[in-house]
A = this chain, B = another copy of it.
C-alpha cells in the first residue's frame, strides 16, 4: 500500500475510460419509461424527436455493464478532471471523531458542480449526430451553466429557457451562460406556443420549471436539427455521472481505502446515482457490505415520505412516465434555498435501488444543513453548495456516531458543488432569518392527488 496523500488525484493513465451502467448488475430492473397515453414502454422511435439517438440508446441500455467514454469526451474531462478525493482531516479534528472522512469534490470547474460531466457527454453526442441546436431549461442555473460551457467548447448553439423569476433574481447566472455563447430566454416567453398561452392566461407570472421544460421541448420538436437535453433524473445522466464513482473506486483500490459508508445528496438523483453506481454494482454482486445513505431535505422528502409510483417528470405533465419515488408532479415545494433538491421525483435507478433495500434515506431540516455547511467551510476551506451540504450533514452525523461508539469507520461523501452562487441563503442563515419547513400530511396528499392513474 502506498502512503495516502491528503488529496488524491488520479494520474492521466489511471483515469476511467468507461462509464459504469449499474442496471446491467441489478437483479430487478427499474420499470421502463412509459408512454402516458398507451401505458406501454416507450421505444427508441418514440423518443427520437426529443432526444439524441446515442443518448436514447444509453437510456434504454440495461445490458452493458461498462460503456466506453469516447475519446473526445475524455479530452473534455481532462480539462477539469480528475476531481480530487480529499481527506477531511480538519473536520475530523473539529468533530473529535475516530472516523476517517473523505470527500470527492466535484466543484472545481466554472459551472461549480458535477453537472458538467453529463453536459459534456450530451453535447458531444448531439454534435456527432449533426445536431446544430440544443435546448434545455434551468432553474437555479448550474445545469444551464454547465451546458453552455460544453456547447461553447463543442461549438453547438444552445437556447436555455430560464425560469423568469430566477433570471431576474440571478442575473449573473444569465451572464455566465451568455459569456459561453448561449442564448437565455426568460420563461414563459413569446417564442413558443405554450409560453404564449401561459402569458395570455397570466401576464405577470414569474414562470416555473415545468413551464420552462415545456417550452424547451416544444422548441426542440419544432426546430430543424434541434434536440432537448436534461441534466438529471434520466438513466443516461446517471450513467455519465458514474465517472464520479469510477474515479473514487479507482482511488480506493489504489490506496486500499475500504469505505464503510457512502453518502450523497439527491434532488433528481444524478450525482448520487453516478457516485454510488460502481460500488452498488459490487454490493449487488455480494463483494462488499458498504452502507449507502441518500440525504434529502425535509421540505421535499421524495424518498422518505414519497410514493413509489409512475409519474410525470415535469409539473406540466408533458413527459413520458417514470416509475420513481415521487411527491407527485403537482407537489409545490416550499421556498427552500437548496434549489437543486426541490424536485418532486427521483431517478428511477436510485428509486429502484432504494425500493429493493440497498439504500438508506435521511431527511434534514435546512438550518441543520447550513450549520454543517458553515462548520465545513471554516474547517475545510471550501464553501459548499446547500444541496451538497445535506451530504455533509449526514457524514457528520455518522462521524459523531463513531465518536460515541469509538469505531474508526471510513466515510466517503460526494461534495457535488460549491455555494458561490448561493450566498443569499448563507446570508439569511448568518443573520438568523432562515426558517425550517416540514410539509404536513395534507400538503403531501395534495401532491399525491396529481399522480396519474396507471
Chain A interfacial positions (CB closer than 8 Å to B)? 5-7, 9, 11-12, 78-80, 86, 90, 108-110, 112, 149, 152-153, 171-172, 174-176, 178-181, 374, 377-383, 418, 420-421, 423-424, 426-427, 430
Contact = CB atoms under 8 A, between A and B. Distances in A.
Contact of A175 (B6, B78, B178, B423): B423
Given A79-B90, A149-B381, A175 B108 contact: no
Contacts of A176: 383, 420, 423, 426
Q: Interface SS of chain A: helix, strand, loop or mixed?
A: helix
A243 to B, nearest CB: 16
A420 B420 contact: yes
A171 B383 CA distance: 16
Nearest to A375: B152
Given A178-B427, A179-B426, A424-B172, A381 B110 contact: yes
B149 A179 contact: no
A179 B383 contact: yes
A90 B381 contact: no
A152 B109 contact: no
Given A153-B379, A171-B427, A176-B383, 5 more contacts: A6-B78, A9-B9, A110-B377, A179-B374, A420-B421
B80 A381 contact: yes
Contacts of A153: 90, 378-379, 381
18 contacts: A5-B12, A79-B86, A79-B90, A109-B381, A109-B382, A110-B377, A110-B382, A153-B378, A153-B379, A172-B423, A175-B423, A175-B424, A176-B383, A176-B420, A176-B426, A178-B427, A179-B426, A420-B421
A374 B148 CA distance: 13
A178 B5 contact: no
A175 B378 contact: no
Contacts of A179: 374, 377, 383, 423, 426, 430
